[in-house]
Amino acid sequence: MVYAGVDYKVILKEAEKEADVMVWDGGNNDIPFYQPDLHITVLDPHRPGDELSYFPGGTNLLLADVVLINKVDSADYDNLRQVRLNVRDMNPGATVIEAASPISVDHPERIRGKSVLVVEDGPTLTHGGMTYGAGVIAAEKFGADDIVDPRPWVKGAIKEAFETYPEIGTLLPALGYGEKQIKDLQKTINAIPCDSVVIGTPIDLTRVLKINKPSVRVSYELQEIGKPDLEEVLGKLSKKKRPNLA
């Protein structure tokens, strides 16, 4: 069950009638509007230092009861070490959990030995400051022969994004904040000569686009390493006496 609205006091009262446990999912772009019993913050070692320099990401690090450092299987060791040190310096009392993010695809045969176009999450590549994502990692892992540079074929709003963020490079950001951007993205993908399209976006683009060539959907799972893990942390929380919030 999902609740949404603008009066968070009312939302809380209604949610408490329905559920034993409530989860606030604000992402790195928000902080909880309620005081949680357990505050979990996820850090990305592919972007070391962002956990200090961005708001409210840095605030979430300071507030965290649990810090989960994700993607340790694909991050550079020096970057991972920097994130560990930043956590120790900024929030030494937090429980630290480390996890891998093993990547899988639904059709690996569409990548191996093929010329592929990689479509990544738009905000990650633009104002997120990244030059790769899950799609690139999948293309390399499953043996793509070549990652096609989309820039000669970009259309409309997608072309404007490359002009604003030239550091994007040989990837295609999935911008779809409106009907025009979605149409321009579809036109761009369909114009690019390649064997297949590697989709590394959070949503399945084939649900909103008609792509004229084979595509591959990239996904990844959380694989915790060592102890403590989330199950152990949540188990301890469930045994505690809940505070009286009346």
166-190 tens-digit pLDDT:
888 888 998 877 888 899 999 999 9
Single out the residue of 165, 130, 120, 119 nearest to residue 45, CA to CA: 130
pTM score, two decimals?
0.80
What average pLDDT is seen over the chain?
Answer: 90
CB 85 within 8 A of CB 208: no
The token pair that represents 131 in the structure block: 């030059």
User: pLDDT band for position 242 (50/70/90)?
Assistant: low
What is the mean pLDDT of the segment spanning 99-121? 95
Tell me what pLDDT residue 245 has: 47
DSSP assignment letter at 66: E
The angle formed by the CA atoms of residues 74, 234 and 29, to the nearest 5 degrees, is: 55
Query: Would you state the pLDDT for residue 246?
Result: 43
* CA 83 distance to own-chain centroid: 17
Residues 232 and 21: their CA atoms lie apart, in Å, by 16
Answer yes or no: is pLDDT of 59 > 50. yes
Phi, psi angles (nearest 5°) of residue 211: -95, 130
Q: E-strand spans in 124-214?
A: 146-147, 172-174, 196-200
**pLDDT value at residue 185:** 94
